[in-house]
Amino acid sequence: MAAVGDAGVIGTVELVWRSRLDRTAEIGFVFNPDHGGRGLATEAAAALVNWGFTEFGLHRIYGRCHGRNAASARLMARLGMRREAHHVASYLFAGEWADQLVFAILADEWRSRPVAG
């Protein structure tokens, strides 16, 4: 799913099936920093999470990011995702061992989350 504004495509969010049996998908997002800091990525990601749970009957959605990717971690926390893991030096990133954070949310948790406003 691409987020489109007056300036054209400003970012993308994706939901990838990881297990049909477990009804689990992984969310990912990339936004142009020129359009960051306004909640647009959060809004787009929330719409996709909602779509996954309501239209596709998903049970669990998770997301992963680099251990130093604070903006991504904050975004997933804002969605109500729980930080479930911090894998230390678990993968190679730009030639160096990097930590990886894993966030997740279940369908029941999404449905019962407090809605702002």
Assign residue 110 a region (left: φ > 0; alpha: ψ between -120 and 50; beta: otherwise): alpha
- Taking CB positions, which residue lies at the least distance from ligand COA? 39
Cβ nearer to ligand COA, comparing 21 with 34: 34
Cβ nearer to ligand COA, comparing 74 with 108: 74
| 87: its two tokens | 């894998």
Minimal distance, residue 72 CB to ligand COA, in Å: 4
User: Using only C-alpha atoms, what is the Rg of the chain?
Assistant: 15
Minimal distance, residue 76 CB to ligand COA, in Å: 9
Closest to 61 measured CA to CA, from 99, 15, 111, 21 = 15
Minimal distance, residue 109 CB to ligand COA, in Å: 19
